[in-house]
Chains A and B, each alone.
Chain A
Amino acid sequence: SQQGEEDPQALSIQEGENATMNCSYKTSINNLQWYRQNSGRGLVHLILIRSNEREKHSGRLRVTLDTSKKSSSLLITASRAADTASYFCATDASGYSTLTFGKGTMLLVSP
């Protein structure tokens, strides 16, 4: 079964606005990762946050992790049309196990 569940399933915003996507999971993890997929392409790794971390930043990306609630959020600030893509969270149970991907959020950023 899917480990991660993202919401919303789809998000439509204007350029310059912030986009927030959430991910919930069911079992304990070693780390959680966020990936981006442009239509018809492979996935690109965005950021990894370990279970003992609460927040992490990378450029316009901010990821939070709440292990007590088994949830994570990805915030993209000052969005651009080029950010239009699907975003997936993926959980790693042990740090060296296979990743389990959520269903993804489709983000549409309009100029």
Chain B
Amino acid sequence: GAVVSQHPSRVICKSGTSVKIECRSLDFQATTMFWYRQFPKQSLMLMATSNEGSKATYEQGVEKDKFLINHASLTLSTLTVTSAHPEDSSFYICSVSSLGRTGYNEQFFGPGTRLTVL
């Protein structure tokens, strides 16, 4: 499967600051990446689909001006949480679909980023 990395793995920031999370596909070019959010002991909630070279597609209820996504290359997508507040504290996970590689829509996930906003 694909190898996906995320950086940082953990970040603590003050309320009002912006935080950038990187997601990298290390061993194949991904035109599409996904960003999820997960609260403790809950399921994954899809936030947006990141498309290389074009605008991200956001799920209903996700503020695009709050969660900025940039997919500048085939191996890198970034999620920036702007003006973070304590309610943005969560586990953010990215994934890459193997659809373009295997023909099957399996997803390969990064290790996640734990964001804590004080």
Q: Taking beta carbons and an 8 Å cutoff, which residues of A are in contact with B?
A: 2, 30-31, 33, 35, 40-45, 48, 88, 90, 92, 95-104, 106
Bound-state CA distance A99–B109 (Å) is 13
Bound-state CA distance A46–B30 (Å) is 21
**Chain A residues closer than 8 Å to B1, beta-carbon distance:** 45
Contact B49 A98, beta carbon cutoff 8 Å: yes
Contact B43 A102, beta carbon cutoff 8 Å: yes
Q: Which of B41, B46, B99, B109 contacts A43 (CB 8 A)?
A: B109
Q: Which of A2, A44, A99, A102 contacts B105 (CB 8 A)?
A: A99
Q: How many A-B residue pairs have CB under 8 A?
A: 55
Identify the interface centre among B4, B107, B112: most chain A CB within 10 Å of its CB: B107
Q: Is B42 an interface residue (CB 8 A)?
A: yes
Q: Taking beta carbons and an 8 Å cutoff, which residues of B are in contact with A?
A: 1, 4, 6, 34, 41-44, 46, 49, 91, 93, 95, 99, 104-112, 114
Q: Which of A40, A48, A97, A103 contacts B104 (CB 8 A)?
A: A48
**Chain B residues closer than 8 Å to A30, beta-carbon distance:** 105
Contact B93 A43, beta carbon cutoff 8 Å: yes
Contact A98 B43, beta carbon cutoff 8 Å: no
Given contacts A42-B93, A43-B93, contact A97 B105 (CB under 8 A): yes
Contact B44 A40, beta carbon cutoff 8 Å: no
Contact B99 A96, beta carbon cutoff 8 Å: yes
Contact B112 A98, beta carbon cutoff 8 Å: no
Bound-state CA distance A62–B45 (Å) is 26
Contact A88 B44, beta carbon cutoff 8 Å: yes
Bound-state CA distance A44–B105 (Å) is 14
Contact A95 B43, beta carbon cutoff 8 Å: no
